Amino acid sequence: MTDVRHDEFAELAAAYALGALDAPERQRFEAHLVACDDCQKDVAVYVSVTAGIGASAEPAAPPAALKARAIANATARARAFERLPSRVETPLPRPTLFPWLALAASLALCVAAGAYAWMLHAELESARRVLTETSARAETQRAQLNAARGDSARSARLLDVLTASDVVRVSLVGTKGASAATGQAYWSPSRGLWFTAGGLPVLSPGRIYQLWLVLPRQAPVSAGLLAVNAQGTGTLLAPSPAAAGSSRAGGVTVAITDEPTAGSPGPTTPILLAGSAKPE
């Protein structure tokens, strides 16, 4: 018997057979009796014993009212006991759709969660791509801005040189070693030097062109290093060398030689491009 309260009901079996239970107890006991084989057997035994006790007693005439109640109670108990099934069948659980519905709901939830996670991942990847592209554009714009600032500063320096009151314009021509080369120089002792050349020969690795300023009664002074492209074209904007002094009196000669990449303190090869000018 699986009812944890069976012992309580087993104690009531005799009282039930004797009709000693009140209405609420009798109803509770009969509800238990329907499902309990042991209690059904006990009640059957107690009913038989009760009947035997009645048969062995000396006949006595009971009061009419008591006799009527006893007969009515016995008849009711007998009929109730006869109505009890001989064996209580435990109904098998009916198939239900709940487990399948729960499984389907779980699967749907998993699919939805997976779809949501995939959507978030896709949105995150898209946001990352947008951020990368935006960062790349910002970096490009920053580089362009820096280049523009550099160009603007360079343009301002060039304008200072070209509009200086002490500027000297020098035209350069190629010598035997670079006959196709030409150049223009604008030198201001106070503002600096602007130089541009074209048609220069492409140098060997480890070599570079070096620009010189030659002033009266002075040794050549380096004005800077000139890198050229594959067409032999190059430009140079440099401050005026301190060693060149601050006066243009007596004029100036601008020349170019082929020197090591780091430059030289003085010319070490023949002049390839040169020109001179005197102050106006």
What CATH number is given to the structural domain containing 250? 2.60.40
Q: Is the pLDDT of residue 84 over 50?
A: yes
Q: What is the CATH number of the domain that holds 67?
A: 1.10.10.1320
What three-state secondary structure class fits 123?
Answer: helix
- The residue among 146, 163, 180 that closes a domain is 163
- The position carrying tokens 């009151």 is 165
In terms of residue numbers, what domain contains 226? 168-277
% the chain with pLDDT above 70? 76
Statement: residue 62 has pLDDT above 60: no
Is there a domain that residue 238 lies in?
yes
pTM above 0.85, yes or no: no
Residues 221 and 157 grouped into a single domain? no
Q: What is the pLDDT of residues 166-205, one digit of tens each?
A: 899 999 999 988 999 999 999 999 999 999 999 999 899 9
Number of domains in the chain: 3
Does 159 have pLDDT greater than 60?
A: yes
Asked if residue 135 and residue 73 are part of one domain, the reply reads no
pLDDT in tens, 6-55: 777 777 877 887 777 888 888 888 888 888 888 888 888 877 766 655 55
pLDDT in tens, 251-264: 899 999 999 999 99
Would you tell me how many other CB atoms lie within 10 Å of the CB of residue 172? 25
Q: Which of 234, 186, 183, 185 is nearest to 208 (CA)?
A: 234
Scan for tokens 């002075």, then name that residue: 218
CA dist., res. 155 & res. 147, Å (int): 12
